[in-house]
Amino acid sequence: RPDVVQWESQPALEKIKRVTSTRSIGYDGVAIVTKVLWPKDLQMLKRWACLINYAYNDKFKYDFIVFTTTPWPEEKINELKNVTYPANLEVVLEGPETLEGHMASMTLDEIKFLRSRCKFDNETHPEALTWMHYCSDPPGSGQVNNVAYAWQAEFRAYHIWAHPALASYDYMMWLDADAMVGTPWDDVDPMQTMIENDLTVLYAGWPYGTSNNRLIQEKIYHAYNEKICHIRSTKPTKSIYAESCKDSRENFGVPQIAGNHHITNLNVFRKPIHQAFLKNFTGEYRFARQFDDQLAVTIVGIMEQHLENKRRGHTVGSPEFKYSVWHERFNNLTLKIAHHRMFDVDRKHRVPGNKEKFLEFIRQNWTGVAERCGPFFLDEKREKN
């Protein structure tokens, strides 16, 4: 089985290289990252990696990091490496190999509370919980998620930023494993935009849902000693920013950055002030989605921007104010990343949800994509036949 990879940390500023006009040299310290539950996601990941490489990463050869909840056999890892080559790939266990291993660090009261959320009490269900059991979140609400999905939200909101597998990287280009690139990135380079503009977050979509949980305001104030009443965006570039206020608002809603794709500055998210926020943010109880990765990326992004400008005495709207949370498309980055039947979180740009139909759709304007990646659009059983 793959062990968690240990890396040595390196100073971020020493890693930056300029992209040449031919776009053949990238930046050090960049990882392309996603997360899956188990090895059953191999074929989806082959498709995911092939499209990324053919669109962009053949030139830059950025490392791929695939986090997994359950271990992979070596032969499955090697199959995926054959697709990502010549870029490096690591398949990394997020933590303990089993749900029981995760629960071993929980108190008896925490385990009892989890089982009650899952309506899985010891008397009627003495068997062990599994990743596929559904639990209410918040407790007693009509919202339910399986334990695996709740764990991915918790992992991506807090645990991922300081994970040893990312310790040597400064930037994370995240794409969900079911996101599919639909065009070559010949004339755009999101990493160049991210690094040369010293951004904290470069995102594909906002707003993508709003959370009105009353505890969010309290958690922001607890960590940052700031009361935030609005999150707004600029025109025409759609950079988002926070507006502070003297009195907290109980009905404060947080419009969220879409979670399927974004690029983040890992060194910012690893700062102690943000790590303290994220630990408290996700710390109500284990295996919860109510405080998830979309909220985490949004809040840390806007609060880093808010605090840094405040420290320099720069106010929103002034020429000196530095926006560090940017929208891709509104800054001339059209990446055409498909997710939930649309490109770039834009409902005006609908795409087929069926993977075979999606391939037919993108091959019309993307020479060679079917020849390069077409085999990975077949189900594994069909491919073997």
Strands (DSSP E) along 115-233, which ranges?
Answer: 134-136, 144-146, 171-175, 180-181, 201-203, 210-211, 228-233
- Is residue 346 within 8 A of residue 329, CB to CB? The reply is yes
Which 3-state string (H, E, C) describes 293-354? HHHHHHHHHHHHHHHHHHHHCCCCCCCCCCCCEEECHHHCCCCCEEECCEECCCCCCECCCC
Interatomic CA distance for residues 272 and 318, integer angstroms: 28
Higher pLDDT, 107 or 120: 107
Interatomic CA distance for residues 299 and 353, integer angstroms: 30
What is the pLDDT, as a whole number, of residue 303?
98
DSSP assignment letter at 290: S
Cis peptide before 71 (omega within 30 of 0): no
Place of tokens 């910012």: 268
Residue of 263, 258, 253 lying closest to 294 (CA atoms)? 258
Interatomic CA distance for residues 91 and 77, integer angstroms: 7
Query: What pLDDT, in 10s, does the model give residues 14-63?
Result: 333 333 334 467 899 999 999 999 999 999 999 999 999 999 999 999 99
Residue of 162, 170, 171 lying closest to 190 (CA atoms)? 171
- Is residue 154 within 8 A of residue 136, CB to CB? The reply is no
pLDDT band with cut points at 50, 70 and 90 for residue 381: low
Residue 130 has pLDDT above 80, yes or no: yes
Q: Determine how many CB atoms are found less than 10 A away from the CB of residue 207.
A: 16
Interatomic CA distance for residues 325 and 307, integer angstroms: 13
Q: What would the mean pLDDT of 279-301 be, rounded to a whole number?
A: 94
The answer, as to whether pTM is greater than 0.85, is yes
Interatomic CA distance for residues 302 and 261, integer angstroms: 17
Interatomic CA distance for residues 189 and 284, integer angstroms: 39
Q: Give one DSSP letter per residue of 342-360, joined into a string.
A: EETT-TTSB--SSHHHHHH
- Is residue 166 within 8 A of residue 160, CB to CB? The reply is yes
What is the pLDDT, as a whole number, of residue 2?
32
What tokens appear for 198 in the block?
């010293």
Residue of 237, 192, 215, 219 lying closest to 303 (CA atoms)? 219
Higher pLDDT, 321 or 248: 321
Interatomic CA distance for residues 263 and 298, integer angstroms: 12
